[in-house]
Chains A and B, each alone.
Chain A
């Protein structure tokens, strides 16, 4: 179980304090599939980074299975069972797809199962396993490899940051199946940050984050109409005009 308690995050910009997250309270129960959505710049990725330990909250507490992990390093959180698939995956010179999956799954992983992870995300393993995770991969390929590494880690909590971005329509259908399978088969919790109705549709719960705050949360029947009507943008003058 993950608990975010009164989480705030601010940065200093040109001598002024900029509040990015304000008093966020979220609980993610075990085995739950939660989707986070909301307008661009609303603070979703920042929230994911705070869960993974990449950013430290300026106020508030994070509990993972009852343990306070607020001051815990990225590495220790990863070891404890938190995974984060980046919105913009990182490229490396000289690190191969195979290496990255090995690092994610643990040394013992066989080439066969490394290939299975790639097949899950619709990549032909033979063509990709020995490629460098560098600028030679397309955006969509890189994104899929990022997702494969998180599947390979198979941790208690996985956070996917806009996994659909850059993925073609056909593969997107299969990707949804991957998440559904993960959800059904495992005892793990999944958080997916997404703008896609099809992903929001398969979640147990949807949380809307806008302007750094939790705007609303509930089942898809409660939240989807609101999201699709654009009510989350009510505070924005530009959209109202």
Chain B
């Protein structure tokens, strides 16, 4: 693995070296290294690009890293990864995609991640998307995440895209059975001419299910963001979505929340707020000796932390 690939890995997965536990590192269109454990198996799909990650029921305190890196300009790929997480598991999955584009041709990674989370299982899923490179070629990522959670299963998803992705269309869908819950924390920043669309669709089908979708976004320069959240309550359930966005420069942001109750005891809330950085926040930090630019950076970094 070369230096560029190493930096990408560090950015998206915080990895300085080969991770402990199970992993599958995909570089420039194919698996570059893999490790499985007694409880976690990783199998290459034979009908299409991608892998199956199979985690035995009852597996606790284990992690799987499945980073994807593209360091050659001009690669376009579509990858299907399926996660089969057995009942009663408690595991962490770290995905993420880093693109370094040093050329003129576009680099694009599209991924469809499908989760089958068993009864009473707890999953933490972290994904980071990051782009860099001195080339003029576009860096595009379109991640789709489909989550099926069985009775009393739980997913906590952290998704971060802070820099360098020119265009993204992110879709996250979740289907919740009785007592199942999902919490999503999204952090998104766009700059330059970037475009980001992010869609959440949650169906709470089981009694006592719950969903909490929290998105914090900053749009700078001439970038454009669209946030869509559709939450449907089909049973006694609790759903909440929140989009909190800072707009800067000439950016554009739309937040389109939609909540649908098909059951008397569905409790659904959506909140959306878009605004520029409060002048008094800048002033306060300037009275501590920061320049306006430094103050702005502090506020944005804090907001996205």
Query: Which residues from chain A sit less than 8 Å from chain B, CB to CB?
Result: 52, 54, 73-75, 78-79, 83-84, 86, 89-90, 92-96, 99-100, 103-104, 149, 153
Contact = CB atoms under 8 A, between A and B. Distances in A.
A50 B97 CA distance: 50
Contact of A86 (B244, B284, B303): B284
A94 B303 contact: yes
A79 B286 CA distance: 9
B288 A90 contact: no
Given A54-B283, A86-B284, A90-B281, A95 B299 contact: yes
Contact of B302 (A75, A86, A89, A92): A92
A7 B285 CA distance: 25
Given A89-B284, A90-B281, A95-B302, 13 more contacts: A52-B287, A54-B287, A74-B283, A75-B291, A75-B292, A78-B287, A78-B288, A90-B278, A92-B299, A93-B216, A94-B304, A99-B302, A103-B298
B288 A149 contact: yes
B288 A104 contact: yes
Nearest to B244: A93
Interface in B96-152: none
B280 interface: yes
A25 B288 CA distance: 26
11 contacts: A78-B287, A86-B284, A92-B302, A93-B302, A93-B303, A94-B301, A94-B302, A94-B303, A94-B304, A95-B298, A100-B288
A111 B292 CA distance: 26
B290 A75 contact: yes
- In order of increasing CB-CB distance, the 10 nearest A-B pairs are A94-B302, A95-B302, A78-B289, A74-B286, A90-B284, A94-B303, A75-B286, A90-B280, A103-B288, A94-B305
Interface SS of chain B: helix, strand, loop or mixed?
helix
Interface in B255-305: 278, 280-281, 283-292, 298-299, 301-305
Contacts of B244: 93
Contacts of A99: 298, 302
Contacts of A149: 288
B285 A103 contact: yes
Contacts of B278: 90
B302 A74 contact: no
Contacts of A104: 288
Of the listed residues B287, B289, B298, the one surrounded by the most CB atoms of chain A closer than 10 A to its CB is B287
Contacts of B298: 95, 99, 103
B264 to A, nearest CB: 32
B281 A78 contact: no
B283, B289, B290, B299, most chain A CB atoms within 10 A: B289
Nearest to B299: A92
Nearest to B283: A54
Contacts of B283: 54, 74, 90
A127 B88 CA distance: 35
Nearest to B286: A74
A91 to B, nearest CB: 8
B41 to A, nearest CB: 39
Contacts of A93: 216, 244, 302-303
A149 B298 CA distance: 16
Nearest to B277: A92
Nearest to A77: B287
